[in-house]
Amino acid sequence: MQQHAIYNGNGEKKVIDYRDLKPDEYGTKEGTKPLGYVVDRRRFDRYLATQAERAGVEIWLKTEASHFRTLDDGSCEISMRKFNEPVTVRAKVIVGADGVQSQVGKWAGIKTHIKLSELASCLQFVVDGVETHGLLEIVTGHEWAPGGYAWVFPKGHGYAEIGLGVTRTMCNDNAQSYLDHFIKHSFFKERFKNCRVIEIQGGGVPLAAPLKQQYADNVLLVGDAARHVNSITGGGIHTALSSGKIAGEFLAQLIASGKPATAENLQGYHDNWLKAMGNNMWKLYRVKRDIFDTADVVERDERLYKTMSDYFGPNSEYKKI
């Protein structure tokens, strides 16, 4: 979405509207791009599964993998339970796309554990009855969301998402308490007073550095499993799609070459990812750490507000992360 309003803790804001900044490129006129899209994850995930299935992928539901082992011929064997029945599958490579603190990575000896200080607790309400003005609104400030930020996002069809992410080691309470406080006491409280909650969504988001090692014999990791998450915004869908594409293209070449999927031969995936996006993700992580390592709360809030305001600007070096 290319239309943002970024607020500091006191309600002062900076609006970034690409219809004004780049009127020939964004808007509703013929030949221009839409400002952006709001993703319905259920429909989006179903669409991706359908695309994969029609391309020849065999999708197994209600299937859980428990471990794998490397075989003498360089392939591996994965033990699973499909509809609670034991199943064994052989493969050249396992792609771990199993999310935060990847179990696949742990099986391969990769350290995927995340410190509590780098894991955001996120909670949001899908609501009816809140005007959004078509803006992605982001609210910084320690009072509203310690170690993170709050948001109000348009959902389409009259709905909105009100939520926040907080770092528990910087909090005195849980995410629900902070979200209740934000809705009832922030400078948005008049807009929120008649909202009706129709859905509650929550989860953990890694705000840690990308894994230094994202591959091992017969295994490579993508998306949240490799911590391919923007450590400032917490965004991860686009970075996961990008790393998945990089992995797919790399593995297609590796398998065609006939080479075994050793850690040495899989390193090229990591190198390709670093060149395409990883180096900038590491740089962004260092910016994030520098902000939240600042002891003075006022200074920290000011730096986060400025960083978020600059991040979404047209000249941001991080626009594609």
Q: How confident is the model at residue 26, as a pLDDT?
A: 80
Q: How confident is the model at residue 105, as a pLDDT?
A: 97
Residue 290 belongs to domain with CATH number: 3.50.50.60
- Whether 216 and 263 have beta carbons less than 8 Å apart is answered as yes
As for how many domains the chain has, the answer is: 2
Query: Is there a single domain that holds both residue 185 and residue 320?
Result: no
Query: Is there a single domain that holds both residue 218 and residue 290?
Result: yes
Q: How confident is the model at residue 78, as a pLDDT?
A: 97
Q: How confident is the model at residue 320, as a pLDDT?
A: 57
Residue 2 located in a structural domain:
no
List own/partner pairs for 176-184 with CB under 8 A and 24 or more apart: 176/123, 178/144, 178/145, 178/146, 179/123, 179/124, 179/125, 179/150, 181/144, 182/139, 182/144, 182/145, 182/150, 183/125
**Sign of torsion over alpha carbons 96, 102, 103, 108:** positive
User: Smallest Cα–Cα separation from 145: which of 169, 119, 124, 171?
Assistant: 171
The span from the CA of 11 to the CA of 19, in Å, is: 23
Query: Is there a single domain that holds both residue 108 and residue 123?
Result: no
Query: Is there a single domain that holds both residue 173 and residue 216?
Result: no
Query: Is there a single domain that holds both residue 152 and residue 234?
Result: no
pTM: 0.88
Q: How confident is the model at residue 158, as a pLDDT?
A: 84
Q: Which residues of 33-64 are buried (b: 16+ CB within 10 A; e: fewer)?
A: eebeeeeeeeeeeeeeeeeeeeeeeeeeeeee
Q: Cα angle vertex 66, ends 225, 84, to 5°?
A: 120
Q: How confident is the model at residue 2, as a pLDDT?
A: 61
Q: CB neighbours of 111 closer than 8 A, spacing ≥ 6? A: 105, 211, 213
Query: Is there a single domain that holds both residue 124 and residue 219?
Result: no
Domain span at 123: 116-206
Residue 114 token pair:
């995340």
Of 206, 232, 262, which residue constitutes the final position of a domain?
206
The span from the CA of 229 to the CA of 281, in Å, is: 8
| pLDDT averaged per 10 residues, the chain (length 321) | 85 88 80 78 92 95 95 95 96 95 96 92 96 90 97 89 95 95 97 94 92 96 95 91 96 96 97 95 94 95 94 75 63
Query: Is there a single domain that holds both residue 277 and residue 194?
Result: no
Query: Is there a single domain that holds both residue 185 and residue 314?
Result: no
Of 142, 177, 206, which residue constitutes the final position of a domain?
206
Query: Is there a single domain that holds both residue 296 and residue 219?
Result: yes
Query: Is there a single domain that holds both residue 265 and residue 236?
Result: yes
Q: How confident is the model at residue 277, as a pLDDT?
A: 93
